Amino acid sequence: MTQDKRSFLFKLPFEYIKMRLFTTFSFLLFYGFLSAQKEEPTMFLNIQYGAQTPVLDMKNRFGTSLRTTAVLAYQPSKKRSVWSVAGFFQFGALVKENVFSNLLTPEGYLIGNDKNPAVIQLRQRAWFLGFGRGWRFNNKSVFLQRLNVDLYGGLFQHKIRIQDDPSRVVPQISGEYRKGYDRLSNGPGALFYFSYNPTAKPLLTRFVVGIDLFVAPTWNRRPVNFNTGAKDEAVFWVFQPGIHLGYHFPRVFKNPASLKY
């Protein structure tokens, strides 16, 4: 590896590295629990990808987002219930809130240290980690047999990611000053899943499609928002309906031939 390439790697922002590592981990460890019924205790591992639209307070700050979700689940012997640990990473490209209103020129520019306009990108970033339970139905109806209902509760956190202009520095939003603009907020969250398995005979793999709903009251954890000069103590409600596509890996800790569908 050349000296230039090594220098480039060391200069990568830590937030960039964390995001990429978390996304990679999510794709390896995602979405687990389907409507397959087992004779013995079984672990599931699934991958899910979906899109969400914001409602309530979230709509005023962010646009539509994408989400990767991981679930590792356990189904006890001869039971229709599933116990799971779930986590997701959420990202979006549209930030509606003008958090730099106190720094902009009358023309709407943010000026860098070289006295030229800086191009600062704002992005949505959020994550959730929780524990939950799922229900599978033993019914003569084929539709109910393929329907999965899951509920999770846990911790949710969201913020505005500030991406610097690579050509110039804006001192007012650098270092610790950045925290006055990122709106870091967290709180308890609840995630509801309704998934359907359209595959007739899932011998090795299985897809699910469905709808989901995420709800969370969150609070701003920063002592002050710099553009307003005041602390935001109001509850920020997150309400996001969405759709998702999941991919099921039945072979996790045992041979798929031992699974009964």
Q: Please report, in tens digits, the pLDDT of each residue of the chain (261 residues total).
A: 444 444 444 444 555 555 655 555 454 444 333 444 444 557 778 889 999 999 999 999 999 999 999 998 887 776 778 889 999 999 999 999 999 999 999 888 899 888 899 999 999 999 999 999 988 777 677 777 778 889 999 999 999 999 998 888 999 988 899 999 999 999 999 999 998 887 655 444 578 889 999 999 999 999 999 989 899 999 999 999 999 998 877 655 544 444 444
CB distance 233 to 184 below 8 Å: no
CA angle 68, 69, 75 (to 5 degrees): 160
pLDDT recorded at residue 142 = 72
Q: What residues does 85 pair with on adjacent strands?
A: 72, 131
Q: What residues does 167 pair with on adjacent strands?
A: none
| Straight-line distance from the first to the last Cα atom of the chain, in angstroms, rounded to the nearest whole number | 51
CA angle 65, 67, 73 (to 5 degrees): 155
On the CB side of 202, CA atoms within 13 Å amount to 21
Residue 17 CB contacts under 8 Å (≥ 6 apart), including other chains:
none
Q: Which of 61, 68, 91 is nearest to 239 (CA)?
A: 61
Determine the Cα–Cα distance for residues 83 and 72; give it in Å rounded to an integer: 9
Q: The domain spanning residue 203 has which CATH number?
A: 2.40.160.20
pLDDT recorded at residue 31 = 37
Number of domains composing the chain: 1
pLDDT recorded at residue 40 = 54
Tell how far CA 90 is from the center of its chain.
Answer: 3
Residue 204 CB contacts under 8 Å (≥ 6 apart), including other chains:
250, 251, 256
pLDDT recorded at residue 39 = 45
CB distance 109 to 100 below 8 Å: no
Q: Which of 135, 45, 54, 142 is nearest to 97 (CA)?
A: 54
Q: pTM of the predicted model, to two decimals?
A: 0.77
List phi, psi (to 5°) of 6.
Answer: -65, -40
What is the Cα Rg of the chain in Å? Answer: 22
Structural domain including 124 reads 3-258
